[in-house]
Amino acid sequence: MPIRIIQHPKKASDTPLLISFLVLGLFLSAIFWYGDRLHAIDAAELTPQQLYNTYCAACHGYEGEGVESLKAPPLNSEGTLYEYADGTIQRAILTGGEIMPKHDQILTTTQAAEIINYMKTWWTDEQIASQALLSADDPMEP
């Protein structure tokens, strides 16, 4: 007696499930493939200007001019950032604020300090001197 192979007919609902698994597999593959590359970009040594341009400029402008529509204040000599000590500024960069996102999972304390020192290049000599007095009591963490 011959063996009969019974094939179950495909259900119409199997196709969306198969497509879903295929899409999920492609998505996970992309994460694993590009994940290391994204991490490598984050780990790369960036100059202070590149750090600022990457993490700050979208809201505060490439020259620290601020973006009023985002309620992001100017960080250059037109603003009042120089009225705050280095430690206060560094904590604001890392822990964020009411509107500003925190960057403590992205930037190290050293990178935050480099950004602060870069922003100081926009300040006047008087602003730098005034801010240095404030920072004596509240310095940046290394």
The total number of structural domains in the chain stands at 2
Summarize pLDDT for 71-122 with one digit per residue, the tens.
999 999 999 999 999 999 999 999 999 999 999 999 999 999 999 999 999 9
What is the predicted pLDDT for the residue at 82? 97
pLDDT, one tens digit per residue, over 8-43 is 666 556 666 556 555 555 555 555 555 544 444 554
In sequence order, which ranges of 1-142 are alpha helices (DSSP H)?
Answer: 14-43, 48-55, 57-60, 86-95, 109-119, 125-135
Using pLDDT thresholds of 50, 70 and 90, give the confidence band for residue 142: confident
Average pLDDT rounded to a whole number, residues 2-9: 66
The verdict on residue 5 lying in a domain is: no
CATH of the domain at 51: 1.10.760.10
Range of the domain at 93: 46-135
Task: List the structure tokens of 87.
Answer: 């430690």
User: Within this chain, do residues 23 and 52 fall inside the same structural domain, yes or no?
Assistant: no
Residues 20 and 59 reside in one and the same domain: no
